Amino acid sequence: MLRNILIVPALALAVTAAPALAETQVPQSQAEISLSFVPLVKQATPAVVNIYASRVVEARSPFAGDPLFGNLFQDFRGRPRVQNSLGSGVILSGDGIVVSNYHVVGQATDIRVVLNNGAEYDAEVLLADEEADLAILKLEGAKDMPFLPLRDSDTVEVGELALAIGNPFGVGQTVSSGIVSGLARSGTATGNARGYFIQTDAPINPGNSGGALIDVKGQLIGVNTSILTRSGGSNGIGFAIPSALVQQFVEQAEAGKTSFERPWAGMTGQSVDADLSESLGMGLPGGVLISQLHAASPFARAGLDVGDVVLAVDGQGVNTPPEMLYRMSVTGLGHEARITYLHDGAQQEAKVAMIAAPDDPPQQRVTLDERAVLPGLTLARLNPAVQTELGMPLAGGEGVVVVDPGPWGARIGLQRGDLLRAVNGQGIEVPGDVDGLLKKAAPRIQIDAQRGNGRISLRFRV
C-alpha cells in the first residue's frame, strides 16, 4: 500500500520536472529503494519478547452466589488448576528490565520469557498494577540485552506512522503497521485498565498484549493493551499505554516499590460538558470541575476551591478525571505540577505538590487472631491512605473500616469497605476496640455498620 501511494507523485514529477527529480531524490540506500520497514523491524524486534505465564487458581463452587444452595456448598473445595496466559513484553534496559501487561503476568507463579532468537529466561515481577494494567519484570541472569529506548509520549502526534510488535494468537512474533489515530483516549480500554491511551489502527490481536508500539525511529511510544471489537478480532481500533506512564513504573520499580503509588489529589470532580460550561460562563466545554475537596488535599493547600475548573496539568489539557490522574501520575511523586484553572471566571496558575495519600490519622491496622470471635477479620482506622487502598469515595467520613472480612466475617455478611459503627449498641472508636466488644457481646451479637450511603445490621450467634 505504501508503494502505491508513493508512485503517483513520482510519475507526475517525472513528466513535469524529470531532471530536478533525478538530481534531488537519488536513493541513498537499499531501504530507500525497497520502501520497506525492514531496517526498523530488524532493529526493534530483538527487544520484543514472548511471555508465557502460569498461576494456580482455586476451583470455584458451581453454586457460588446461588440463593438456595450457596450456603450449603460454601465449604466446597475443588482441585486447584493451572491457568496459563500468553502475551508479549518489551525489554527496556540492558540488564533485563521488561514491561508487560498486568493481565498477562499478574499473580503468576511461573513466568518464562522467550526472546526472538530462542533464548529463554525466568522472570520475576518487580512491580504490578491492575488498574493501569502494567507490570515491570526482571529477567534472571540477563545482561547486555537488546532494548528499546523510551520516547516521551507527549510528543506523539495523530497521523504518525506506528508499528505494533507482539505475539498474536501465539503464532510467533509478528509486526503490523498503521498510524497513531487518536490521543487522550480515556475510559475506552477493556478489563480493569482505566485512564489514558494512545489509539492506533495498527492491528492488535489477542497475544499482542504487552507488546511494543514504536515510531519510525524505533522508539517505544506505548505498550499495547487492548482492542475495541465486537467480533473478537482487530477492527483497527487498538489502545496502547503511553510510554510516559511506563517510565514512571520503571522508576518506582528501580526504587524498590512493589506496587505503583499515584499522587493523591484529595478531590472529586466531573467533566465539564456543554451544559455545564454554559452555566459556568466558560463558552467552550473542557476541564474538570472540582466538586469536593479534602481538607488535606494538596490542591486545597495550593489555593484551589470547590467550584474551580482544572484546565491543564503541566500545560497539557485535561477533560476527564482519568486524564487528570494520568497527568499527575506522569509528573511523579515528590514533584510539583503546574495547574492551570479557572477561579471566578479568571484563569490562574498554581504549583501543586504531588504527594501520596496521607496516612493520618494513623490507621492502627489490626487482624484478629484464631482466638477471636471473627478470626482473620482485618480492620483499620479510616484515613486518606486507607480510602485510596480500598477505592472508597472521598466522603467516607471517619471510623473503623473492614479491610478484609476474613472467612468468618464474610460468612456473616461483612464486606471490604464496611464502616463498623457499634457492637450490641457499644460504639467503636478504634480498631483495637472490636475484638473485646465482640467477646463481651457473645453469644448473641449485633454489628451495626455503614455500607455506602446505607446502614446495615448483622445479627448472629457464636
Question: How buried is residue 239: exposed, middle or buried, by Cβ count under 10 Å (0-12/13-18/19+)?
Answer: buried
237, 180 Cβ separation under 8 angstroms = no
Round to whole Å and give the CA distance between 422 and 304: 37
Round to whole Å and give the CA distance between 455 and 200: 47
Round to whole Å and give the CA distance between 122 and 377: 36
Of residues 209, 226, 271, 329, which has the active-site annotation? 209
Single out the residue of 346, 386, 389 nearest to residue 365, CA to CA. Answer: 386
Name the one residue in this structure whose C-alpha cell is 484478629.
368
Name the one residue in this structure whose C-alpha cell is 494512545.
198
Identify whether 343 is a catalytic site residue: no
446, 462 Cβ separation under 8 angstroms = no
Residues contacting residue 317 through CB under 8 Å, at least 6 positions apart: 286, 287, 311
Round to whole Å and give the CA distance between 179 and 158: 8
What is the dihedral sign for C-alpha 5, 9, 14, 20?
negative
First to last CA, the chain: 74
CA angle 163, 88, 179 (to 5 degrees): 15
Cell triple for 259: 506496587
Partners of residue 446 on adjacent β-strands: 459
Of residues 85, 100, 133, 418, which has the active-site annotation? 133
Of residues 85, 88, 100, 103, which has the active-site annotation? 103
Round to whole Å and give the CA distance between 330 and 255: 16
Residues with catalytic function: 103, 133, 209
